[in-house]
Amino acid sequence: MQIKRRLAAAGVALGVAAAATGAAALSAQADPAGPSSPTEPVTWTVGGLTASDVAELEQLGFDVAHEHGGDVHIIGDQAVADDLRALGHTPEFHDTVYKDLEVTAQQEGTYYGGYRTVDAIEAHLHGVADANPALTRLYDIGDSWLKTQNEGGHDIYAVCVTAIAAGDCEQDPDSAKPRFTLIAQMHAREIATGEIALRWIDDLVAGYGTDTEVTDLLDTTEVWVVPVVNPDGVDIVASGGDDPILQRKNANDSAGNCGSRFGVDLNRNSTFEWGADSTNPCAETYQGSAAGSEPETRAVEDWLRSLHPDQRGEAESDPAPDDARDVFITLHSYGEYIIIPWGYTDTAAPNDAQLRALGKAMSASNGYFVGTNDDTVGYSTSGTTDDMAYGELGVASFTFEVGPDFGDCGGFFPAYSCVEDTLWPENRGALMTAAQAAAAPYTG
Ligand SMILES: [Zn+2]
């Protein structure tokens, strides 16, 4: 294939080490016409690529952040743009990664204008659970990679929110109430997603007994939330302060000498249809050494299996039955998509029409485009959480790609005010629609 020869001939160094450091000292005002310095990571658009071209760039270690219709975004500094030019591509400046900060005096426990650190999030979850024992139960569902290595790290927390009756909020798939499960910040640098998950928890707790819709929901449904799947990664992101680090993967650095590009992509590490993504430990989509190799992956999968009954047969073509229950959403950024299974193949999922229908109902709130990987980002993914939740358990599963691809509220690092002003409000209704559908997601 032509691109392989070109890549080999160009001798591009793997790793693209400068891209993910976020270490560039930024001037106060980014130049909208381009990067403010040669070492500032920015978003470049590269057009006219085939799916296999994109896969090659990922395998080489380029940070392919977003794709649509043959155009991809690649994050990196000027040296990365030069590497792309050496391969025959024409990168064009798209947008800055870092947005102007409205708040410069940092609050304790926050970074980049107000985003909460992992420690602050954990303190908040404990506070909510302690103050609301009739509505919440907090679970430790597993350890981060660093914790398994006795190198610090974190527990991974899940909160169950419902009007707790006897037997509710137990980790048993045979529950009286149907369930809506939500996870966020599996990719650490998708920083708005954790904040949205926290607002969802707080909104439900505050609304019980005062808001009819919330009260009805919590009387009939269990809502479970993991606000931060990848706490080690979020610690790395937050360590950059006003210039957050672009860490996507977990903190497992055992697979190779990658400089700042270590880690396993937890959304390529799930056990369902694992193994067709990057084998380069330095790539942003590195799938790990084996299916479910990472403790964060196992924590989430075991948690999903403990909550959702197995409702689907073994064959790819087996539909979940019309009376199946439960909905799962994994929050990612960015692109304003609601993505339905399958991710690993462009064959339609057996419940395709039903998944699209619920996707469209959610889109009435956030306006996001509904479709499969093939319809939206245009590439296949293997070992993703949504394919696992639907494929193994038959849960109606969706990936939200939160936020636009450009501007102050776009990309991985939207200005903090965007969370409160647009990203949370536009998604609150979509999450409510998902939760209300948990009893019968396939019947419309
Ligand atoms: Zn993501």
Could you read off the pLDDT of 385-403 as tens digits, one per residue?
999 999 999 999 999 999 9
Residue 43 sits in a domain of what CATH number? Answer: 3.30.70
* Least-confidence region, from 32-46, 244-258, 261-275, 410-424: 32-46
| Judgement on whether residues 28 and 115 belong to the same structural domain of the protein | no
Helix (H/G/I), strand (E/B), else coil: 72: strand
pLDDT digits (tens, 9 = 90+) for 13-43: 333 333 333 333 333 334 456 788 899 999 9
* Closest among 11, 17, 7, 81 to 256, alpha carbons compared: 17
**What pLDDT score was predicted for residue 105?**
64
- The Cα–Cα gap between 268 and 83 comes to 26
**What pLDDT score was predicted for residue 103?**
64
Q: Is 284 a catalytic residue?
A: no
**What pLDDT score was predicted for residue 33?**
65
**What pLDDT score was predicted for residue 42?**
96
Phi, psi (deg, nearest 5) at residue 113: 85, 0
**What pLDDT score was predicted for residue 25?**
34
* Least-confidence region, from 27-31, 165-169, 286-290, 340-344: 27-31
**What pLDDT score was predicted for residue 215?**
98
For residue 62, being part of any structural domain is answered with yes
| Judgement on whether residues 207 and 352 belong to the same structural domain of the protein | yes
* Sign of the CA dihedral with 286 first, then 289, 292, and 296 last: negative
| Judgement on whether residues 39 and 61 belong to the same structural domain of the protein | yes
Cα–ligand 1 centroid distance for 210 (angstroms):
34
Cα–ligand 1 centroid distance for 209 (angstroms):
35
Cα–ligand 1 centroid distance for 267 (angstroms):
7
Question: Using the 8-state DSSP alphabet, how is residue 10 labeled?
Answer: H
Cα–ligand 1 centroid distance for 410 (angstroms):
14
| Judgement on whether residues 76 and 149 belong to the same structural domain of the protein | no
Cα–ligand 1 centroid distance for 65 (angstroms):
9
The arithmetic mean of pLDDT across residues 91-114, rounded, is 87
Helix (H/G/I), strand (E/B), else coil: 438: coil
For residue 326, being part of any structural domain is answered with yes
Cα–ligand 1 centroid distance for 333 (angstroms):
5
Whether cis (ω within 30° of 0) applies to the bond prior to 115 is: no
Phi, psi (deg, nearest 5) at residue 183: -125, 155
* Closest among 373, 361, 365 to 438, alpha carbons compared: 361
For residue 203, being part of any structural domain is answered with yes
Question: Using the 8-state DSSP alphabet, how is residue 293 labeled?
Answer: -
Instruction: Provide the domain count of the chain.
Output: 2
Active-site annotation holder among 67, 284, 336, 401:
401
Cα–ligand 1 centroid distance for 211 (angstroms):
32
| Judgement on whether residues 48 and 181 belong to the same structural domain of the protein | no
The arithmetic mean of pLDDT across residues 226-248, rounded, is 97
| Domain housing 19 | 2-96
Biggest distance spanned by C-alpha atoms of the chain: 66
Domain boundary among 96, 126, 147: 96
pLDDT greater at residue 49 or residue 12: 49
List alpha helices for 243-336, DSSP H. Answer: 295-307
For residue 293, being part of any structural domain is answered with yes
Cα–ligand 1 centroid distance for 357 (angstroms):
23
Instruction: Name the token pair of 167.
Output: 């037997």
User: Are the beta carbons of 148 and 158 closer than 8 angstroms?
Assistant: no
pLDDT digits (tens, 9 = 90+) for 287-316: 999 999 999 999 999 999 999 999 999 999
* Sign of the CA dihedral with 305 first, then 309, 313, and 316 last: negative
| Judgement on whether residues 116 and 31 belong to the same structural domain of the protein | no
| Judgement on whether residues 269 and 214 belong to the same structural domain of the protein | yes
pLDDT digits (tens, 9 = 90+) for 207-218: 999 999 999 999
- The Cα–Cα gap between 106 and 115 comes to 10
Can you tell me which residue has the tokens 């109430």?
A: 177
- The Cα–Cα gap between 235 and 375 comes to 34
| Judgement on whether residues 386 and 296 belong to the same structural domain of the protein | yes
Residue 305 sits in a domain of what CATH number? Answer: 3.40.630.10
| Judgement on whether residues 159 and 303 belong to the same structural domain of the protein | yes
Please list all protein residues whose beta carbon sits less than 5 angstroms from ligand 1, which is an ion: 187, 190, 332
